[in-house]
Structure 1
């Protein structure tokens, strides 16, 4: 294999694929990136951790077609440190790859291309397109609620499903729930319910920043593929059943607080400065058009702040985890958020209004 590629092009492609590669691997080839040069004037870069695979094609001048695999992180670090604007010459033969750029010369060991594992996709019968902006919105408004608890592996991702003729995305960790509803794309009618893993969600979100138009989505009950133009992301899905989250979305919460999300969030942030990391509990005392936020810490003392808001129901007190509350408020784009409350022990519903595509449910804390 012999090819010449611009440093910026190589670096951009490698930055996408190498982030899939785990730092510690018991299988040496999984530390490598596959480099496949084609006489049609392109290099294919590919990396996998056996659950997730990124495949990106970048333009290059190819003198001799061929393929090899080399350490992904090492090659990325080399490309990062090469002079800007340099042309990088890659030559692979006899278990070695030579990397020349100007006066810099490197020689790295390689592993054979035939040993490189590829995720077999099989049939992906459901095919549709989503605008990149819609996919970003789905991810940004739900991923903070994805559980990191490995024992409840079926909560370690975003649940995508079609219901009531719309596409719904939901994530929960048992303490809070985020759900976004978007128009059902053509082709998604018979889509199976799927759970997209957390790592796939993170990699997809990074790649979406460089996509303007639509993203092709193909999926089966066990795999999903995102076609992002130059890059293709393929992932196994989480094999589990997502709980029926609709049961925890409160329907009859009749105490309604309307408040500016920015001033609310800043108030929560200020009083929670003295909260101990373990509890992070903030108390909300609601009275007519007056909300008092307070934190009491045995180690640090007390803090309180009044924030303005519209509230006309019975006065009462409720406690929340301040970080969870701020995560939700940080997703609200409008100037007003509705907080639907029932009592100090019942789940609370938070949304911009009843037309908003996103809604959030937060479980209260004892304070």
Structure 2
């Protein structure tokens, strides 16, 4: 194969695909990116870790069609360091690839295209489209709550399912057992009857990166075991987590009768300030609720104490409750309006946070003993 491509175009495409490739691989070909030059003037770049696969098509001048595979991270680093605006010439033959740009010359080993594994998608019976902005919102408002505990592998992703309520909706939820995030959006046409699926954390991260460059809609196709996102020039295919997501509705409180309305920015800044002295292990911040004010405080055996008063609209009985400051800040960071509703019951019960009862996102946070 022989092709010439602009450095910026190649760098952007490689940037998307190389992040799928694991740094350490026992199977050498999994360290490689597949480069396929088509006679109609395009290069297809593809990388996989056997669970997740990304395909990106970029424009190029193709003198000789063909395909090969080459170390993804090495090629990315080379292209990154080439002079801006340069034209990169890629020539592959007999187990080698020559890369020429300006005065730079590289000659790298390749592995045959036929050895490159491709995820077999099989049938993907459910197909629907979502605006890229909706997909970004779903990911941003839930992914911080994805569990990183490998033993509870079924929590290592975002759970997506459809539900028939007053109107048909699509719901996305993530939890790590300490907090829960859920987003509800109108059900897109074609999603009715779709299976409940758990999209793995790595797929979510790669999808989010790609969404930054998509303005229109994203085509989603899925089965019980695989999902494919078609984003125009890029196609992301992933295996789904084979497990059962817990019935998260059971932890969403419905009878929390103490309501605090507070400005999320001043609340967030107050929590952030007092948490400066919190010990790394507990990260605990105490909230003392009184009429129309909240006193945030932290007591650290190593550092001392900190307290800050934040005004809020609260009219129920006074009481104290503790939270993990990091978890609370993650949730407050997703609140876009100028008021957040905090629905509380007592110091041991889960607390519900949302902008209002019409907001698409809602959060549940388990308290801590402080």
Query: What TM-score range do you get, normalising by the shorter chain?
Result: over 0.9
Q: Is 2:224 the partner of 1:221? A: yes
Task: Tell me what 1:327 maps to.
Answer: 330
Taking structure 2 as the reference length, the TM-score comes to 0.99
Aligned mates of 1:264, 1:148 — CA distance in 2 = 27
Counterpart of 1:19 in structure 2 is 19
Shift of 1:108: 0.2
CA distance, structure 2, for counterparts of residue 294 and residue 103 of structure 1: 62
SS in 1 for 2:215: coil
Residue number in structure 2 paired with 1:279: 282
Matched, 1:166 2:169: yes
* 1:188 and 2:191 are equivalent in the alignment: yes
Tell me how far apart the structure 2 counterparts of residues 64 and 275 of structure 1 sit (CA, whole Å): 62
Q: Deviations over 1:237-281 (max 9, x none)?
A: 000000000000000000000000000010001111111000110
User: Residue 314 of structure 2 corresponds to which residue in structure 1?
Assistant: 311
Task: Determine the C-alpha separation between the residues in 1 that align with 2:7 and 2:277.
Answer: 49
Alignment equivalent of 2:178, drawn from 171, 175, 179: 175
Cα distance between partner residues in 2 of 1:84 and 1:294: 52
CA distance, structure 1, for counterparts of residue 81 and residue 47 of structure 2: 21
Q: Does 1:9 align with 2:12?
A: no
Where does structure 1 lack aligned partners over 5 or more consecutive residues?
none
Q: Which runs of 5+ in 2 are unaligned?
A: none
Map of 2:123 onto structure 1: 123
Partner of 1:293: 296
Counting only pairs closer than 5 Å after superposition, residues 2-81 of structure 1 correspond to structure 2 as 2-81=2-81
Please give the secondary structure, in 1, of the residue aligned with 2:265. Answer: helix
Residues of 2 paired with 1:104 and 1:267: CA distance? 54
Q: Please report how far the alpha carbon of residue 190 of structure 1 lies from its aligned counterpart in structure 2 after TM superposition.
A: 1.1
TM-score under structure 1 length normalisation: 1.00
Q: Give 1:290 deviation, angstroms.
A: 1.4
Structure 1 residue 113 and structure 2 residue 113: aligned?
A: yes
Q: Which residue of 1 aligns with 2:343?
A: 340
Q: Secondary structure at the match of 2:294?
A: strand
Whole-angstrom distance in 2 between the partners of 1:100 and 1:300:
58
Find the aligned partners of 1:97 and 1:109 in 2 and give their Cα distance: 6
Inter-partner Cα distance in structure 2 for 1:325 and 1:340: 14
Alignment size in residue pairs: 367
Q: CA deviation at 1:98?
A: 0.4
| Structure 1 vs Structure 2 CA RMSD | 0.4
Match of 2:265 among 262, 267, 277: 262
Q: Deviations over 1:109-155 (max 9, x none)?
A: 00000000000000000000000000000000000000000000000
Q: Partner of 2:363: helix, strand, or coil?
A: strand
Deviations along 1:340-362, whole A, 9 cap, x unmatched? Answer: 00000000000000000000000
Structure 1 position 97, deviation (Å): 0.4
Alpha-carbon distance between aligned partners in 2 of 1:332 and 1:354, rounded to the nearest angstrom: 13
CA distance in 2: counterparts of 1:54 and 1:46, whole angstroms: 6
Aligned-partner Cα distance in 2 for 1:145–1:97: 43
3-state SS in 1 of match to 2:348: coil
Shift of 1:21: 0.3
Deviation at 1:183, TM superposition (A): 0.6
Instruction: State the distance in 1 between where 2:310 and 2:83 align.
Output: 53
Runs in 1 of length 4+ with deviation above 6 angstroms?
A: none
